[in-house]
Amino acid sequence: MRFRCHVFVCENRRPAADERGSCAAKGGEAVRQAFKEELARRGLKGEVRANAAGCLDACGHGPTVVVYPEGVWYGRVRPEDVAEIVERHLVGGQPVERLRLRHLEGGQGRGSPGPGGPLS
């Protein structure tokens, strides 16, 4: 099955003493669950995939979310932000600027969701 886009939600877990914190400790798992539920509710389950991601090297901004193939990064995403991201970005094509991490876009930082990098 080929998805139109993938939403990678960082669920990386670091030791509690790490000053950057971790996306898991900041609610990354709840954010991914909210995406899964909202995508199913909107009938987008077979078109858009919400994936758990390991370290995206941006836990200081976490929970961090990356939408591919566009390569749009979001930070400090809360479960209550998910419906807006789905409606405005995934359905309407307009990223949610108030959550966007532009300094991580355009190939800066690690950013790869896994083997092979972003999907095209």
Q: Are 82 and 48 a contacting pair, CB within 8 Å?
A: no
Count of domains for the chain = 1
111 domain residue, yes or no: no
CA angle, residues 67, 110, 29, in degrees to nearest 5: 50
CA angle, residues 40, 45, 46, in degrees to nearest 5: 160
76 domain residue, yes or no: yes
35 domain residue, yes or no: yes
pTM of the model: 0.83
CA distance 107 to 102: 11
CATH number of the domain enclosing 15 = 3.40.30.10
- The domain of 49 spans 5-98
41 domain residue, yes or no: yes
Per-residue pLDDT tens digits for 70-95:
999 999 999 999 999 999 999 999 99
103 domain residue, yes or no: no
pLDDT of 2: 87
